[in-house]
Structure 1
Amino acid sequence: MATDIVPELLEAIERDFNNAISKSKRLKSIRAMIENGTATYQQANEYAVEIGEILARTFEMHIKSDVLPDGKMYYNIAERILDPTLKNNHVIVAKVSAEIQEQLNKSVGLGLRGIEPPVNQLRIDSIINRVVAEEVFDDVAWILQEPIVNFTQTTVDDTIKANVEFQGESGLNPLIMRSAHGSPPCEWCRSMQGIYKYPDVPDDVYRRHDRCRCVVEYYPGDSEEIRRQNVWSKEWSG
């Protein structure tokens, strides 16, 4: 009978992932900002990128063709490793994002809890299905790199969308601000940059391509009663 490699492999991945998180100076810095009430969705996005990059590095360290049977990532291995680890990334980032959201709500006098979005199971399933499609894992190992970061960032965007829609349905008109980042940012990202007022928020505002580092931010409350922020200079006006 073939040896089941998943328990030992998953244990090693989770151990090194947690160790890297505990040592991350960036995560500690953002946590301090959350605790003193100065964090925004800018920090939530940075937190997600760091969490995603840590998991991607951990995958790269432990998952290679030479540790897989026949050098292939079979479905029963991929599903048992990727599903729990990606869900864990979602839980970590959703909790942090909702915590920041709640602080933003309080900053404008709203006694609303931050809403955590559901995990995007379709995204997880698509990553699993893609990685098992190749006969040799090393030919598709890149799927467990930048797409993992992108998946983790999307949790922040989904948190914003969930809270925007909840507050909008409650009669408020929150603002969504997307700023383009990159060296330089692509044409599509530049076209999406701007300030949007609920309910006139296209779904593309919450979307991102691979290696996209654009930042989507959110100011809760009634947009008629708050100052407007220039998403390029980050200076308040009005």
Structure 2
Amino acid sequence: MNDIAPDLLKKLKKYFAEKYNNDPEIKRILNLENLSYADANNFAIRVGEILANTYQELLTPVTLPDGRMYWNIAERIIEPTMKHNFDIISKFTSRVQSYLNKEAGLGLKAIKPQLNEDRIKGILERLAAEELYADIKWILNEPIVNFSQSIVDDSIKANAEFHARAGLKPKVVRVLDGTGCEWCRSLAGEYSYPNVPSDVYRRHEKCRCTVEYKTGDGRIQNVHSRKWI
């Protein structure tokens, strides 16, 4: 059997880079000067959509041996591309947090979240477990967007915990997307550290709720105007 992984990975990287570099929404967000975690969430969604589309376009039963995604292939093409998404998004969230810290007059560095390797491993295991890739290809669609959004949520959590340890009183706000489902409605609201339920950072499939952040010095950034109150 020919080793198709190197060629597939090269094609995935090239396709993703072309779509990412020419995407109007990506360009718009990267050119913003006043930033918020709402921007980070929109950025993560778009980056996740581009990667998911890359998978859907280039990975088909025809391109895979026996129409199956074997573990040794998934590990060498899915894992590195998902990690690349983490690098892109976590770099942007660090930029957002650095901006928020500066605007709030906080001399603190931005904390980069930890990569959730268990989540990547879970996707790889599901892919390899199925006899036919056609039956499991959905896991490389919306769940990839969800994974990308979780990087923003993890960044908020990491920085809020860091600020709390620094003696500040950060707050985390979960904002509904529209009316939201019953579960999301139960989580919507403002929470002060350390009383932040872990579910605040979780999201179901196709969830577009946002998790936002307030600095611990008593000031609040308006998500729309970007002004500090």
User: Take 2:221 and 2:193, find their aligned partners in 1: how far apart are those partners?
Assistant: 14
Instruction: For 1:74-223, list aligned pairs within 5 A.
Output: 74-182=70-178, 184-222=179-217
Letter of the aligned partner of 1:209 in structure 2? H
Decide whether the 8 Å contact of 2:173 with 2:213 is kept in 1.
yes
Deviation at 1:173, TM superposition (A): 0.3
Gaps of at least 5 residues in structure 1 are: none
Query: CA 1:162–1:111 in 2, change beyond 3 Å: closer, same or farther?
Result: same
Matched, 1:43 2:39: yes
CA distance in 1, matches of 2:189, 2:57: 39
Q: Structure 1 residues 235, 11: CA separation in 2 closer, same or farther (over 3 Å shift)?
A: closer
The amino acid that maps onto 1:77 is: I
TM-score by length of 1: 0.92
Secondary structure, counterpart of 1:216 in structure 2? strand
CA distance in 2, matches of 1:193, 1:237: 22
Cα distance in 1 for residues equivalent to 2:9 and 2:227? 47
Q: CA deviation at 1:149?
A: 0.4
CA distance in 2 between counterparts of 1:8 and 1:212 reads 34
Gaps of 5+ in 2: none
Please provide the CA RMSD for this pair.
1.9
Distance in 2, matches of 1:139 and 1:17, equals 24
| Matched position secondary structure for 2:129 | coil
Which letter does structure 2 place at the counterpart of 1:88? H
TM-score under structure 2 length normalisation: 0.95
| 1:32-74 Cα deviation digits (max 9, x unpaired) | 11xx2x1100000000000000000000011111111111110
**Contact 1:60-1:144 at 8 Å conserved across structures:** yes
Distance in 2 between residues matched to 1:67 and 1:226, nearest whole Å: 53
Is the 1:110–1:221 contact (alpha carbons within 8 Å) kept by the matching residues of 2?
no
Deviation at 1:200, TM superposition (A): 1.1
Secondary structure (helix, strand or coil) at the match of 2:31 reads helix
Q: Contact 2:67–2:132 (CA<8 Å) still a contact in 1?
A: yes
The residue type equivalent to 1:5 in the other structure is I
Give % identity.
46
| Structure 1 residues 42 and 227: CA distance shift in structure 2, 3 A | closer
Shift of 1:221: 2.6
Count the aligned residue pairs. Answer: 229
For the Cα contact (< 8 Å) 1:105–1:221, is it kept in 2? no
Q: Distance in 1 between matches of 2:188 and 2:48?
A: 24
In structure 1, C-alpha distance between the alignment counterparts of 2:86 and 2:226, rounded to whole Å: 31
CA contact 2:36–2:226 (8 Å) conserved in 1: no
What secondary structure sits across from 1:67 in the alignment?
A: coil
| AA partner of residue 103 (structure 2) | S
